[in-house]
Structure 1
């Protein structure tokens, strides 16, 4: 799977951007990275998100233990890979039918947060028990929501292309093609949103610190992110349930 988002929709962390990236690439220009993805994964599907970016995925050659799913509900798009073990519990919690799959669950969980749900984002993601990585885009308010499980069970990478656009993929070679030296594995047990940046859902009150990443050739290549046990985030107030404020800015 692949997603590329325009930098005004999802700002890539500066620490991922390597100054040593030669020949910077624009992943969105002339459909460059989507075309490359299709050459590697023939018969892939491209979903054009207009000026916001693209989704590209293939249902061929899947790992049966980590299946790939795509869903759209009310202009909310979700690419999901893996499985959620407590799916039956979450269906009941969100009042969904038996045919509901993991991608739909993620969309409904996101909608509950966006529409002034009673739980913080870290609690909602922590409720997903299983092996997973997902990419969600809300077309109504141009919001990106991304997460991976705490074990890093699904190969998942992110980075910045030469224009500062955010690139996400389960294929390291695709990420490297689009980002050159400015990519790294997506941090385990973390989620990323357009408004809130990167957060550990296991330790949501702690800051994350970037650690420069060195590739197999000994060159700097993006960064990994670790929980800083000593640094706490400033507490920010959350609007109460039923307030007139939209919670999407607090995800």
Structure 2
């Protein structure tokens, strides 16, 4: 799976971009989309206009960590992995027996967007399994990306020469446009257009960028770790507030 988002959809956190000398634009002239299609002729690409693009292939899948793609009500979602408590979650979100992992993620997001009763970190902690997903809501021009707490699914992100964020389960595809400005997506974290990068395991703590150094001693993006000394200011709306909960996450 592959997604590239314009800066208006996903602003790169400070520290992820380490160099622009070896990076190129992932969106200019459809460079990365064309490269993906040339490697995976049977792939599906979704042009999101100025917001970016998403691409999916079922080629060379790990049978234990399947890739899935679905669209519902202008919500596009790429998912890889397996949810162990999927039966419970389908019941919780009112899905029928044909529902699968990717439809569960879409419904979980829709619940958050439409003022659900739980914060995003609670919704993600309720997912028991191995997963990484990329979701884009075209109606709000908003993204929602997350990975499980153990980093069970290979999942990488980076920033290209124009500041666009690139996400993929294939490190080489991220490196093609981001050069050394990439890193594994942080375990147990989620990224949203409105809130940036947060830990859903430690939602009250800030994240700290730690420079990532490769075997040759060069800085390659950054790893993000929970800073246990720094706590987030509470942004929880008061009971009965008319504020939209989704804007907080």
With structure 1 as the length reference, what TM-score do the two structures score? 0.96
1:238–1:250: 8 Å Cα contact kept in structure 2? Answer: no
Matched, 1:118 2:117: yes
Partner of 1:16: 16
Partner of 1:236: 235
Shift of 1:42: 3.0
Partner of 1:217: 216
Matched, 1:156 2:155: yes
Summarize the alignment of residues 84-233 of structure 1 with structure 2, pairs less than 5 Å apart. 84-233=83-232
Shift of 1:133: 0.1
Partner of 2:2: 2
With structure 2 as the length reference, what TM-score do the two structures score? 0.97
Could you tell me which runs of 5 or more consecutive residues in structure 1 were left unpaired when the two chains were aligned. none
Measured in 1, the distance between the counterparts of 2:216 and 2:40 equals 27
Partner of 2:248: 250
Aligned residues: 249
2:150–2:187: 8 Å Cα contact kept in structure 1? Answer: yes
Matched residue SS, 2:81: strand
Shift of 1:245: 2.8
Measured in 1, the distance between the counterparts of 2:170 and 2:215 equals 17
Which digits, 9 at most, give the CA deviation of each residue in 1:104-147, with x for residues without a partner?
10010001111110100000011110000000000011110000
Measured in 1, the distance between the counterparts of 2:157 and 2:239 equals 33
2:43–2:56: 8 Å Cα contact kept in structure 1? Answer: yes
- Alpha-carbon RMSD: 1.2
Measured in 2, the distance between the counterparts of 1:101 and 1:239 equals 34
Matched residue SS, 1:238: coil
Shift of 1:238: 2.1
Could you tell me which runs of 5 or more consecutive residues in structure 2 were left unpaired when the two chains were aligned. none
Shift of 1:239: 5.3
Change (3 A) 1:217 1:22: same
